Structure 1
Amino acid sequence: MSAPASHRLKIGLSACFSHADATRPLFTGKTLQYVEQSIAHWIMSAGAMVVMVPCPTGETAKGDVSLAHYADWLDGVVMHGGADVWPGSYGEEPLRPEWLGDRVRDLYDLAVVEAFSQAGKPIFGVCRGLQLINVAFGGTLYQDILTQVPGAQVHRNAHAYDRHQHDIEVVDGSHLARLYPGVRTARVNSIHHQAIKDVAPGFAVDAWSMPDGIAEAIYRQNRSKSYVAATQWHPEFEIAECPTLNSRPLLDDFLAACALAKQRPARSHSPFQIRDRAARLLRRALLRIR
């Protein structure tokens, strides 16, 4: 018999943004928040229930619901992919106008990471999610791999999209190596042009791209703090004719951490050292936009 809702993990999924657009024929001039169904279905494949975590601030905001309420109620959160990270989020100016990213979504995502980290709840990031987590905890990014990494291979092919792949090398003794015993190299999809430059303090790189050495997976080393892990590839994009690394061990590991934190919450910690700083910045930014 199917497990009742009360026995299932409740996993938050960060929202993607489609900002208000007066030229859009549907929901004209309205801000849309949404999730891409593959990642929701991936999390649900292990029996967890998925809840989008909407941005609670903005011009139509009402009531007192906050991201902290979601972090307290949910068992963990997945930060999924999307737009580039704004270089200002890690103290740089955009090298090109097309690499401006989405500053508002950055502030929202940073506030989500902060809220769940403070609550001691597990966080898993995918693609942009990995980059955002790295920035949230003090790391930096390459704004464009081909521009800034000599000899780098192509990591994003717009035509092949999720069928574009490369190999990774799993770091010996890493958390990823423990999840995939005996696996030294593997094939993954590659759908990004930004990547980690400086790894955030307290995090280890679990896998590198081959042969150009781009960070492909990270894991928080201090096990007394809440679980944080991320992959640069999209584990939720599984295509039968283009096989890649089995994603189930990643998902099972994250959900096991969520189940453990539900019984015994980890030590809370704000990546910004100042509690709720990201939430305040998000609120101010959206008030200025009005």
Structure 2
Amino acid sequence: MSQPLIGISTYQEEARWGVWSLPAALVPAGYPKLVQRSGGLAALLPPGDPATAAAAVARLDGLVIAGGADVQPARYGAEPHPRTGPPALDRDAWELALIEAALAGGVPLLGICRGLQLLNVALGGSLIQHLDGHAGAPGVFEQHEIKPVPGTLLGRTLPEPVAVPTYHHQAVDRIGRGLLASAYAEDGTIEALELPGAYGFALAVQWHPEAGEDTRVMDALVAAARGASPAE
């Protein structure tokens, strides 16, 4: 397989172009560009009926769950923090169904920022609803160093500490079933999760590789989507 098909979740927002102001299915262009730089074909997945998620995922070679809005706290049994953003109920339901379909079908999965948090929630974990120091000014990515855990999938992908683009105010609290923390920030915040023993490839990172120049995390997803072993 030369160019595997990598689906990227999108979300509905009001958008303006030309004379139009209409609901649109959006994702920052950095996501498909990163897939393309890593040798994949990017396919944008508009929000849909969760009942159709398994059929959509079955047509893909890999799946990316993109960053964005806060996960509804009720999904992990919590009341909203004053700093938690408004819920995106339809998006939560659609992306959770995509994640479940990918895990059930062995389709390689990469979660990014919100995607990491949603993977954790999908497997019974919970979230810290607010923390400081992991975002710059509004709309500006911060940089900080993360330290991969040696011997993990992420540790093989990024064998050294690396500065990453980051923009989030929530993080993993209780780790979900079967998940392993595979990178940390200096303050102890979990920066990556993976699912050891999963068929295929299941990795999620708290930072935004689509906002930087390092393609190695996406390279690993695309390699897995081609059928290569995650250790290769």
Question: Fold conserved (TM > 0.5)?
Answer: yes
Matched-pair contact (CA < 8 Å) for 2:194–2:202: yes
**Structure 2 CA distance for partners of 1:110 and 1:37, relative to 1, 3 Å:** same
Matched-pair contact (CA < 8 Å) for 1:205–1:217: yes
Which residue, out of 125, 128, 133, partners 1:142? 128
Q: Give, in whole Å, the separation in 1 of the partners of 2:180 and 2:2.
A: 33
Task: Tell me the residue number matched to 1:266.
Answer: none
Matched-pair contact (CA < 8 Å) for 2:84–2:129: no
Alignment gaps of 5+ in structure 1: 1-5, 59-64, 147-153, 239-245, 264-290
Q: CA deviation at 1:221?
A: 1.0
**Structure 2 CA distance for partners of 1:7 and 1:207, relative to 1, 3 Å:** closer
Does residue 18 (structure 1) correspond to residue 4 (structure 2)? The answer is no
Does residue 168 (structure 1) correspond to residue 146 (structure 2)? The answer is yes
Task: Tell me the residue number matched to 2:104.
Answer: 118
Task: Tell me the residue number matched to 1:36.
Answer: 28
Q: 1:170-209 alignment to 2 at 5 Å?
A: 170-181=148-159, 183=160, 185-209=161-185
Q: Give, in whole Å, the separation in 2 of the partners of 1:50 and 1:103.
A: 25
Task: Tell me the residue number matched to 2:222.
Answer: 255
Matched-pair contact (CA < 8 Å) for 1:94–1:100: no
Q: CA deviation at 1:8?
A: 1.8
Task: Tell me the residue number matched to 2:70.
Answer: 84
Give RMSD over aligned pairs. 2.5
Q: Which amino acid aligns with 1:237?
A: A
Task: Tell me the residue number matched to 2:204.
Answer: 230
What TM-score, normalized to structure 1?
Answer: 0.72
Partner of 2:227, secondary structure, is: helix
**Structure 2 CA distance for partners of 1:168 and 1:97, relative to 1, 3 Å:** closer
Task: Tell me the residue number matched to 1:68.
Answer: 54
Deviates more, 1:165-174 or 1:186-195: 165-174
Q: CA deviation at 1:205?
A: 0.9
Q: CA deviation at 1:13?
A: 0.4
Q: Give, in whole Å, the separation in 2 of the partners of 1:96 and 1:160.
A: 20
Q: CA deviation at 1:115?
A: 2.0
Cα shift readout 1:79-106 (whole Å, capped 9, x = no counterpart): 0111111111111110227533322211
Q: Which amino acid aligns with 2:194?
A: Y
Partner of 1:230, secondary structure, is: strand
Q: State percent identity of aligned pairs.
A: 33
Q: Give, in whole Å, the separation in 2 of the partners of 1:161 and 1:97.
A: 18
What TM-score, normalized to structure 2?
Answer: 0.88
Matched-pair contact (CA < 8 Å) for 2:147–2:162: yes
Q: Give, in whole Å, the separation in 2 of the partners of 1:27 and 1:113.
A: 31
Q: Which amino acid aligns with 2:87?
A: G
Deviates more, 1:66-75 or 1:98-107: 98-107
Cα shift readout 1:84-143 (whole Å, capped 9, x = no counterpart): 111111111102275333222111110111222222211101111111111111111011
Matched-pair contact (CA < 8 Å) for 1:99–1:143: no
Q: Which amino acid aligns with 1:208?
A: Y
**Structure 2 CA distance for partners of 1:175 and 1:116, relative to 1, 3 Å:** closer
Matched-pair contact (CA < 8 Å) for 1:87–1:100: no
Does residue 157 (structure 1) correspond to residue 136 (structure 2)? The answer is yes
Alignment gaps of 5+ in structure 2: none
Which structure features the higher share of strand residues? 2
Task: Tell me the residue number matched to 1:49.
Answer: 41
Q: CA deviation at 1:231?
A: 0.7
Matched-pair contact (CA < 8 Å) for 1:165–1:189: yes
